[in-house]
């Protein structure tokens, strides 16, 4: 299982070294990642500098960061380095005074982000090669996250953000293993709940395959009817086998990130393995897209 990087955004004030780092990271990684120069964070900082409204932009930034497949690197060295670069080559837009103002705004906005596991802030001027190494290792580590580790990441995100509730997205992909354990069904607090979902969803899939539905029509792997819903916390599960890939779309109405997020994701992973191997053997890999509608800390 992997938690791939869909977008890597490079951020920072003017003259912080983004363009050089962008080119270096692309070149040394053989263009492995989709790297974007600037995001809503820059839009917020420039809006503040020019006296524009920021609330809509803050909402957009929160949506971007709450996707666990999105990562951000902020270059924020000491201002003396930016000042040195300014005096060496100048800037088409900024004066030294406005550059200092923009730098202070970036520092303030980065502090407001809190401690989020998908945001890396590079404050020391360690050199381009060291920065390249640090970011490459960091991205590779995040991408190697399994379901449990993704849950830990989501917990850190919510607790580190300073915000009590988030809507969070994560997409995990992988190939079906030859074997997997069933221990999650014996979890002391949620095992009974998980076994009921497993039983109910299996019953639904088997009925559809046999044609026990309002159309009296047996369903094959192209069906859109392999669907489970509930008013409990795990509220919507949808299996869409398509060719050699099984898409598994999961929505959780509510989740306590301090208690359940890692085990719930582990259970969803277990469902993906079980259904893929049992009902859709033509599928060799899966994509599990999870939305946590209300990922919150304990009140």
Query: Which residue in the block uniquely carries the two structure tokens 């909402």?
Result: 59
The arithmetic mean of pLDDT across residues 257-284, rounded, is 94
> What pLDDT, in 10s, does the model give residues 83-92?
999 999 888 8
Judgement on whether residues 162 and 223 belong to the same structural domain of the protein = yes
Judgement on whether residues 174 and 99 belong to the same structural domain of the protein = no
Q: What is the pLDDT of residue 299?
A: 66
- Of 143, 175, 197, the residue that ends a domain is 143
Strand-pair partners of 236: 229, 251
Q: Is residue 138 assigned to a domain?
A: yes
Nearest to 95 by CA among 107, 82, 106, 108: 82
CATH classification of the domain holding 60? 3.40.50.300
Q: What is the pLDDT of residue 73?
A: 97
At 233 the three-state DSSP class reads coil
Judgement on whether residues 132 and 252 belong to the same structural domain of the protein = no
Boundaries of domain holding 73: 7-143
Rounded Cα distance, 200 and 275, in Å: 13
Considering the chain, what percentage of its residues have pLDDT values greater than 70? 100
Judgement on whether residues 173 and 132 belong to the same structural domain of the protein = no
Judgement on whether residues 80 and 171 belong to the same structural domain of the protein = no
Nearest to 291 by CA among 263, 235, 252, 255: 252
The answer to whether 65 touches 11, Cβ cutoff 8 Å, is no
> What pLDDT, in 10s, does the model give residues 188-228?
999 999 999 999 999 999 999 999 999 999 999 999 999 99
Which burial class, exposed, middle or buried, applies to 211 when counting CB atoms under 10 A from its CB (0-12, 13-18, 19+)?
Answer: exposed
Judgement on whether residues 160 and 280 belong to the same structural domain of the protein = yes
Tokens of 30: 């053989």
Judgement on whether residues 86 and 58 belong to the same structural domain of the protein = yes
Look at the chain and report how many structural domains it folds into: 2
Q: Which long-range contacts (CB under 8 A, 24 or more apart) does 204-210 make?
A: 204/228, 205/239, 205/275, 205/279, 209/279
Q: Is residue 45 assigned to a domain?
A: yes
Rounded Cα distance, 9 and 116, in Å: 14
CATH classification of the domain holding 241? 3.30.572.10
Q: Is residue 1 assigned to a domain?
A: no
Judgement on whether residues 158 and 290 belong to the same structural domain of the protein = yes
> What pLDDT, in 10s, does the model give residues 123-156?
988 889 999 999 999 999 999 999 999 999 999 9
């Amino acid at each position: 299982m992997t938690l791939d990087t869909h977008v890597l955004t490079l951020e920072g004030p003017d003259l912080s070294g983004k363009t050089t780092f962008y080119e270096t990271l692309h070149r040394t990684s053989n263009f492995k990642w989709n790297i974007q120069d600037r995001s809503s964070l820059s839009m917020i900082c420039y809006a503040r500098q020019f006296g524009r409204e920021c609330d809509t932009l803050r909402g957009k930034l929160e949506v971007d960061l709450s996707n666990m497949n999105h990562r951000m690197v902020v270059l924020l060295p000491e201002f003396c380095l930016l000042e040195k670069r300014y005096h060496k080559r100048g800037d088409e837009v900024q004066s030294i005074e406005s550059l200092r103002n923009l730098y202070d705004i970036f520092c303030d906005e980065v502090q407001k982000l809190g401690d989020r596991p998908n945001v890396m802030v590079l404050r020391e001027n360690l050199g381009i090669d060291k920065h390249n190494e640090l970011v490459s290792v960091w991205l590779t580590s995040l991408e190697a996250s399994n379901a449990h580790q993704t849950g830990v990441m989501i917990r850190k995100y919510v607790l580190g953000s300073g915000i009590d509730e988030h809507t969070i997205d994560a997409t995990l992909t992988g190939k079906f293993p030859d074997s997997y354990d069933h221990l999650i069904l014996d979890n002391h607090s949620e095992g009974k709940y998980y076994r009921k979902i497993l039983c109910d969803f299996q019953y639904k899939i088997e009925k559809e395959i046999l044609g026990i539905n309002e159309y009296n029509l047996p369903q094959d792997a192209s069906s859109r009817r392999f669907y489970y819903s509930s008013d409990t916390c795990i509220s919507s599960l949808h299996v869409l086998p398509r060719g050699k890939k099984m898409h598994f779309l999961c929505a959780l109405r509510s989740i306590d990130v301090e208690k359940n997020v890692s085990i719930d994701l582990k259970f969803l992973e277990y469902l993906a393995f079980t259904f893929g191997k049992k009902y859709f053997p033509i599928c060799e890999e899966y994509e599990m897209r999870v939305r946590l509608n209300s990922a919150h800390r304990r009140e």
